[in-house]
Structure 1
Amino acid sequence: MIEVNELTKRYGPTLAVDRLSFTVKPGYVAGFLGPNGAGKSTTMRTVLGLDRPTSGAALVNGRRYTELRRPLHEVGALLDAGAVHGGRTATDHLRCLARGNGIGDRRVREVLERVGLGGVAGKRIGGFSLGMRQRLGMAAALLGDPGVLLFDEPVNGLDPEGIRWIRQLMRSLAAEGRTVLVSSHLMSEMALTADRVLIIGRGRLILESSITELAERFAQGVLVRAGAATELARALRAAGADVAPEPDGGLLVGGLAAPAISELALRHRIVLHELTPRSASLEEAYLELTNESVDYRAEGRAR
C-alpha cells in the first residue's frame, strides 16, 4: 500500500507539492494524472526516497522507503528509462541491481523473458530503442517480485503492441493483489488501464475517484433512437426532460435516466432502437477538472 499524508515539498521558493494526501491500496491500478508541473513526479520521487519531504510523509507499507531493509522486494519503480549505463548488457544491468538485494541470476532471466527482452539479454543497452529501454525498466521494477509498483509514463516510446502488452501487464499485476500507481498523459490509455484515478493540480489533490464514478459525474445524457422520434421528443419534453436532436436523427436526452425513458416510451407504445447513456471521456473530464491548474496554455484553448 502507498500512503501519502499531508505531503509538502518545496524547492526553494517553488511549492511543488502542497499538503497532498491519498492512499493507493492493493488490487487495482491507480492512474496518477495532472498537467505538467502538477507534482506527480515529485510525489513519486518522494515515495521512493529520492526526495526528502519538506513536511508530511510518503509511506510504502507503513514505512518510509529509507527504512526498508531490502527495498526491491517491497517496491519496484520505473521513473526514467534512460537512467541506465549504455555500455552494460541488459543482463548485467539487472545483475547489478539484483546482487544488492539478494536476488539470483534465475530471477534476472525470468523478468527479461517476461518483458520480451530474453532474445537481446546479452546486447548492450546503448543500442536499445526507447521502447526497449522502457521494457528493461519494467524488468528492473519487477526484479524483486514486489507488492508495490510505481510507473511514470511507462508507455513512452512503445508501439501499439507494446502499449497493449504493458496495459495487460499492469492489470495482471493488480489482479495478483499488488498496488499499482501509474502516471500518464495518455487519457485514452488510462481509461482502458486504470480502475481509479488521482487527479492533481499545482501540487494539490483535485479529485480521487473510480473510473465509473467519474463517468457518472460527467454524464452528458442518454442517446435515444426510436422509430417515432418526433413523438418521443414531445413526450420527453412534457415529462420535463431536455431533448437535443442529433445530426443522425437520434435524440440526446438530459434530465431523465435510461429506465425512465424506456418506461415512458412503453407507455406511449413507441419502439426504441437504441438507449445508451453517454458520458464525457476521461480526457474531457480531466480537462474540465484541471482547467484552472494549467501553467502553460496555447492560444485558442478554452478557459
Structure 2
Amino acid sequence: MIEVRELTKRYGAVRAVDGLSFEVKPGYVAGFLGPNGAGKSTTMRAVLGLDAPTSGEALVNGRRYAGIKRPMFEVGALLDANAVHGGRSAVNHLRCLARSNGIGLKRVVEVLEQVGLAGAAKRRVSALSLGMKQRLGVAAALLGDPGVLLFDEPVNGLDPEGIRWIRGLMRGLAAEGRTVLVSSHLMSEMALTADRIIVVGRGRLILESSMRDLADRFKRDVLVRTPDVAGLRSVLENAGASVSVDDGALVVRSLEAADIADLAARHGIAVHELTPRSATLEDAYLELTEDSVEFRTAEVAR
C-alpha cells in the first residue's frame, strides 16, 4: 500500500508538491495523471526516499522507504529508463542489483525472460533502444518480486506490442493483489489500464476516483436508434429531455437510459440501440486540469 499524507516539497520558492494526500491500495492499478510540472515525478521520488519531503510523509506499507531493510523485496520502481550504466550488459546490470539486495541470480534469468529481453541479455545497455531500456527497467522493478510497484511513463519508446504487453503486465500484477501506481500522459492507455485515477495539478490533488465513478460524473448523453425517430423524439422532448439527431440516431440528454426505455415501451416504440455515453478519460482529464496547466502552446493562426 502507498500512502501520501499532506506531502509538501519545496525547491526554493517553488512548491512542486503542495499538501498532497492520497492512497493506493493493493489489487488496483492507479493512474497518476496531471500536466507537466504537476508534481507527479516529485511525489514518486518522495515515496522512494529520493526526495526528502519539506513536510508531510510518503509511506510504503506504513513505513518510510528508508526504514525498509530489503527494499527491492517490497518496492519496485521504474522512474527513468536511461538512468543505467551504459557500459554494462543488461544481465550484469540486473546481477549487480540482485547482489545488492540478496536476490538469487536465478531470478535475474526469470525477469529477463518475463520482459522479453532474454535474447539481448549480453548486449550493452548503451546499445539498447529506448523501448528495450524500458523493458530492462521493468525487469529491475520486478527483481525482488515486490508487492508495491511504481512506474513513471512506462510506455515511452514501446511499440504497439510492447504497450499491450505492459498493459497486461500491470493489470496482472494488480490481479495478484499488488499495489501499482503508474503515471502517464497517454489517456487512452490509462482508460484501458487503470482501475482508479489520481489527478493532480500544481502539486495539489484535483480528483481521486474509481474509473466507474469518473464515468458517472462525466456522463454525456444517451445514443438511441429507433425506426420511429420523429415519434420517440416527440415523446422524449415532452418528458423534458434535450434531443438532437446525429446520423439517423437520437442523442438524448437529461434522461437516463432506463427512463428512455420505459418511455419508448409505454408508447409502443421499438428501440434498436440504447447506449449511455460518457466523456472520454481525455475529455474528463482536460476539463479537470484546465486551470492547472502551466505550460500552454500558443494558438496557431490560420
Place the TM-score, normalised by the shorter chain, in its bin: over 0.9
Q: Partner of 1:249 in structure 2?
A: 248
Over residues 35-64 of structure 1, what are the superposed CA-to-partner deviations in whole Å (9 max), with x where a residue is unaligned?
Answer: 000000000000000000000000000000
Instruction: Give the match for residue 30 of structure 2.
Output: 30
Q: Give, in whole Å, the separation in 2 of the partners of 1:91 and 1:239.
A: 67
> 2:139 & 2:203 partners in 1: Cα distance?
30
Establish whether residue 89 from structure 1 lines up as the match of residue 89 from structure 2.
yes
In 2, Cα distance between equivalents of 1:29 and 1:159: 21
Which residue number in structure 2 is paired with residue 260 of structure 1? Answer: 259
* Cα separation, 2, equivalents of 1:151 and 1:132: 15
**1:152-301 maps to which residues of 2 (within 5 A)?**
152-246=152-246, 248-300=247-299
Q: Provide the alpha-carbon RMSD of the alignment.
A: 0.8
Q: In structure 2, how many angstroms separate the alpha carbons of the residues matched to 1:183 and 1:108? A: 26
Alignment partners' CA distance in 1, 2:152 and 2:82:
12
CA distance in 2, matches of 1:31, 1:105: 32
Q: In structure 1, what is the Cα distance between the partners aligned to 2:84 and 2:41?
A: 18
Amino acid at match of 2:100: G
The equivalent of 2:130 in structure 1 is: 130
Asked if 1:140 is matched to 2:137, the reply is: no
Structure 2: how far apart are the matches of 1:240 and 1:126?
64
Q: What do residues 220-278 of structure 1 show as CA deviations (whole Å, max 9, x unaligned)?
A: 110011101011000001011111221x0111111111111011111111111110001
Q: How many residues are matched?
A: 300
2:74 paired residue number: 74
Give 1:186 shift.
Answer: 0.1
Residue 298 of structure 2 aligns with an amino acid whose one-letter code is E
- Measured in 2, the distance between the counterparts of 1:102 and 1:299 equals 52
1: CA distance between counterparts of 2:276 and 2:75? 40
Q: Which amino acid aligns with 2:55?
A: S
Shift of 1:100: 1.2
CA shift, 1:173, in A, is: 0.3
Moved over 6 A (4+): none
Query: In structure 2, what is the Cα distance between the partners aligned to 1:96 and 1:7?
Result: 33
Look up the equivalent residue of 1:262 and give its one-letter code. A
What is the distance in 2 between the residues matched to 1:111 and 1:91? 10
SS at match of 1:253: strand
Q: Secondary structure at the match of 2:21?
A: strand
2-structure distance, mates of 1:256, 1:263: 11
Unaligned runs of 5+ in 2: none
What displacement does 1:300 show? Answer: 3.4
Distance 1:56 1:74 in 2: 22
SS in 2 for 1:99: helix
Per the TM alignment, residue 295 of structure 1 is displaced from its structure 2 partner at its CA by: 0.6
Q: 2:261 aligns to what SS in structure 1?
A: helix
Deviation, structure 1 residue 299: 2.6
Cα deviation per residue 1:116-136 (whole Å; 9 max; x = unaligned)? 001111111111000000000
CA positional deviation for 1:33: 0.1
SS, match of residue 43 in structure 2? helix
Tell which deviates more after alignment, 251-260 or 157-166.
Answer: 251-260
Q: What amino acid is aligned across from residue 251 of structure 2 in structure 1? A: L
Question: How far, CA to CA, are the matches of 1:207 and 1:61 in structure 2?
Answer: 23
SS in 1 for 2:122: coil
> Partner amino acid for 1:264?
L
Q: 2:297, 2:56 → 1: CA distance?
A: 35
Provide the rounded CA distance (Å) in 1 between the counterparts of 2:13 and 2:256. Answer: 50
Q: Distance in 2 between matches of 1:161 and 1:33?
A: 23
3-state SS of paired residue (1:237): helix
Measure the CA separation in 1 of the matches of 2:96 and 2:68.
19
Q: SS of 2:272's equivalent?
A: strand
SS at match of 2:119: helix
